[in-house]
Amino acid sequence: MGSTVFSKTRIFLDMIRFEHTIFALPFAYVGALLVDKQLPGGSDILWITLAMVGARTAAMSLNRIIDRHIDGANPRTAGRALPRGLISVGEVWVYVFLSFGLLLASAHQLTPLAFQLSPVAVLVLSLYSFTKRFTWACHLFLGLALGLAPVGAWVAIAGRIELAPVLLGVGVLFWVAGFDIIYACDDYNFDREYGIHAIPARFGIANALAVSSLFHVLAAVFFLAAGIALQLGVLYFAGLLIAASLLWYQHRLISPGDLSRAGVAFFNLNGLLSVVMFCFTLLDILFPIALW
């Protein structure tokens, strides 16, 4: 029995790519750090972390359930756990409810506004997987889901919404939408044949990569605007410069005629970018060097 539970859990974590929680979690920490420009309390960090893990796990589990038939038809994703029958739909639903429960319980331990707004997060996370069925703007909706991370963490600490975390969240929105477009280029032929809505399938790969580049420029602009609004110091902007360089390099790795390194661009560089932004924001808080 124990070995079966362990095996199923391992299959589940692999199915939802649990390690990719790193994309949004560092930006949640950035939002928490910037409220008072000091380290939040340990309990706040714990509950924010658990809320993020719950949100991301629930969203990915729902995505796998809703898209299981599409995944089974797509050669790139046919080997995933649900299409192969390695785990049942019912078992994944258990994880969905447990994960959303973890999100709501964690939000309840934070500020009243965080708990009151948590159903909005549940709604956004639940709807994303349906958007590819009717709009090529699905990438922006995914960006919105992850862009809630810094805003939610800010609300979790401050108990209010302000302009600066919204600017940061919009930056995350365009960053995520930009790299999701690159990821969708791998499914260009399948999406067109199967009727999946995505920017590459609608506008072609060359135009999609141009839109991705534009979104990443906008991401850098909004990250810059958030730093200016909060009057952050030299180290934050140094981290932003490194992050912008990673975005630039990401687009140097790929072209309409060669997407072979899209996986490197999607997974490695974007995971590194979020960690860089967190680390340099933390350094800026601990060792402020004023610009203003």
Mind listing the pLDDT tens digit for each residue in 36-47? 999 999 999 999
- DSSP string covering 130-165, please? HHTTT-TTHHHHHHHHHHHHHHHHHHHHHSS--HHH
Cβ neighbours of 44 (radius 10 Å): 18
The Cα–Cα gap between 144 and 173 comes to 5
pLDDT for 163? 96
User: How far apart (Å, rounded) are the C-alpha atoms in residues 149 and 143?
Assistant: 10
Residues near 107 by beta carbon (within 8 Å), at least 6 away in sequence: 47, 51, 114, 115, 117, 118, 156
Look at residue 285 in the predicted model and tell me its pLDDT: 96
**What digits encode the pLDDT tens for the residues 118-130?**
999 999 999 988 9
pLDDT at residue 258 in the model: 85
Stated pTM of the model: 0.93
| Structure confidence by residue, pLDDT tens digits, 229-280 | 999 999 999 999 999 999 999 999 888 888 888 776 667 788 899 999 999 9
Q: What is the pLDDT averaged over residues 134-140?
A: 95
pLDDT exceeds cutoff 80 at 14 = no
Residue 182, CB half-sphere, CA atoms under 13 Å: how many? 29
pLDDT class of 3 with cuts at 50, 70, 90: low
pLDDT digits (tens, 9 = 90+) for 52-66: 999 988 998 899 999
Residue 258, beta-bridge partner list: 255
Query: What domains can you pick out in the chain, each with its CATH number?
Result: 2-286 (1.10.357.140)
Q: Which residues contact 217 (CB under 8 A, 6 or more apart)?
A: none
Instruction: Name the percent of the chain lying above pLDDT 70.
Output: 93
- Gap between the Cα atoms of 193 and 267, Å rounded: 26
Average pLDDT across the chain, whole number:
91
